Chains A and B, each alone.
Chain A
Amino acid sequence: MSQTSKENKITLALFYCQNIPESGKQDRQSLEEEYGKSIRLFPIPCSGRLEPLHLLRALEEFADVAYVITCPEGECRYFDGNLRAKKRVQRTREIIESIGLEGERIGIVMNKNSKSLARQAHEIMENITHLRPSPVLSPHRAQQEKGEKRDNC
């Protein structure tokens, strides 16, 4: 794949509620074109569907940072899915802090002004540029670089 200009050293796993504006297939693909391998997008039916496990597994496997975008407070289609997501993000933060990772590696954006997916993603990307690649992934990365091409399965 071609190296895109905005490709970062770190990877963001971005979960987002399917009800946020301009978050359809095309919008998603434009973001992927823009950021290349630095972004992994996961649309979910409701932000309340997200569990600490999703965020933790993402950090463990491929992401340096994991964020979730929810609908504005009071506007969740399932009433309080976004509030639950907020609590879960908080809890997950505590977990990663307790093992010595920066809490900022996990974040939530409650889309107050109903911004588009792309605008939110840009802002999150700006906010995380100061973070180092995650120490959790270092062994993975070294391995990947060694044997980038996988054997046929």
Chain B
Amino acid sequence: MASKYIIDTQAVPNRFEVLTQSGIIAWEEGCLKCPVCVKKQCVYGVYDNRDLDIRQMIDSLDNQCMNCLRCVQGCPKELIHKSINPEYEALGDSHWTPYVIAKSWYQAETGKIPVSGAGYSGPFSGPGFDSMWTDMSEIVRPTRDGIHGREYISTGIHLGKTPRHLTFTDSGDLDSDPSFLVDIPLPIILRIPPFGSLGKNTIKGWALAAKKLGTFLALPYEMIDEEIIAFKECLIPSISPAQPYGDDGLGGVRLIEVLWGKNWKAITRQITETHPSAMTAIRLPLVGGIKETVLSLVNSGVSIISLEGTSNGRLVDDNSVFMRDTIRSIHLALVEHGIRDEVTLLVGGGLSMAEHVAKAIICGADGVVIDLPILIALECRMCRRCTKELPCPVEIDQAASSWVASRTINLLGAWHNQILEIMGAMGIRDVRRLRGEAGRAMFFEDLDRNTFGSLGEVQEGYELE
């Protein structure tokens, strides 16, 4: 058996102070000078080790506080209040919430799974992937032996067409060509994010991370220069039909992606001729009626299709529809036509947490493509200042490539462990078996219908008492 795939992580400190939720308002005026001040009783010594980060005026009071509220409750003159740090609240948007961003920072810093304490106090369900739950009926298994225990849980997938059957020569040797499959040990491919204050070292760092992780980094063809091409076996150059493409030193690249556009066919043909050993993938925007296009592409022999939703996880042509159900319908259509194994389906856009990887696969993807999480791993605050040519508050373009690589590896290491946890709890030991296993998941709409459907429908304008 192949050796176990384990991602080595190591704590990599932040370059800037992180933003935390806490906003302590502690006043001196009116102090009674109690013999033992509540501030002295803080078990974390928050008030004793006070410091100020001048670059961003971040007070260590906020960053060290563990939100136990002991000091707030204890001060007899009520001089201590707790509020929410406005800088924290302003992080990201409604999809990339401050919580998601802060937890990603933690994972990139430590390489560890974030633990939020006992119990879950959030809402029962939410939009998109938050309205689906995975079956955890086998949860005793990983706890008995740990996720890295005796039972090996494989997260490897292959990219390309699985041969329907093998053929052999008269002498008994394998006749079919196995070279048109590429294995990656993790169902995750990295992609350069749509925005970000990126420097040369950022790109290099991500390429280095892809190499160490054994996966790929997809990047626009124009971004490839002499330094980056050194990582060719783990790069996926993305070629846009709108831009001229000539042969360009992409020799040795294993996978090339062509963006959907009028002349994608001509470009694909050109690539197959100039780089016969490289596989080609087609990247399509995830829109409502994409199913038919996917079917026809697979029927015409395309073996890797990458579907890209918006950065908030919805369809490109309809911001009210989450990509979850569209992926399911594409997967099922491929199954119905008996061509599911002729193609590798990659899905990207808005995947912000490890659980989204598992959920996208349950909906029918083979693997996922992530972009913004690898930027957030570098302390990005999703402020989008860079899109307006304002300076990046965390100077991402100045970070060294080794730092970029280690932070990205840490994030992916934590995600890998979480995927193992989910699969272990489901009793699934190969991520390829997870694909399309919707029967092992529950969907809010189904539960709602099954539980309350018999009660009839609430008419519009009718108030429940």
Contacts and interface: CB of A to CB of B under 8 A. Distances in A.
Interface in B382-399: 383, 385, 388-391, 398-399
A152 B389 contact: no
Nearest to A18: B86
B23 to A, nearest CB: 4
Interface stretch (A37-45, A93-101, A103-111, A119-127): A37-45
Contact of A45 (B27, B57, B84): B84
Given A25-B383, A58-B57, A152-B201, A33 B86 contact: no
Contact of B54 (A32, A44, A57): A57
A29 B388 contact: yes
Given A24-B90, A45-B85, A84 B390 contact: no
Contacts of B25: 45-46, 48-49, 78, 81
Interface residues of B, number: 29
Given A46-B83, A152-B201, A32 B385 contact: yes
Residue among A25, A33, A61 with max Cβ neighbours from chain B (10 Å): A25
B114 to A, nearest CB: 24
Given A1-B390, A43-B90, A48 B27 contact: yes
Interface string B244-260: 00000000000000000
Nearest to A149: B398
A9 interface: no
B230 interface: no
A54 interface: yes
B389 A2 contact: yes
Given A32-B385, A45-B25, A153-B398, A25 B85 contact: no
Interface of A: 1-2, 13, 15, 18, 24-25, 28-29, 32-33, 37, 42-46, 48-49, 53-54, 57-58, 60-62, 78, 81, 84, 87, 150, 152-153
Interface of B: 15, 23-27, 29, 52, 54, 57, 81, 83-87, 89-90, 201, 383, 385, 388-391, 398-400, 403
12 contacts: A1-B389, A28-B90, A29-B383, A32-B385, A32-B390, A45-B86, A49-B23, A81-B27, A84-B27, A150-B398, A153-B15, A153-B400
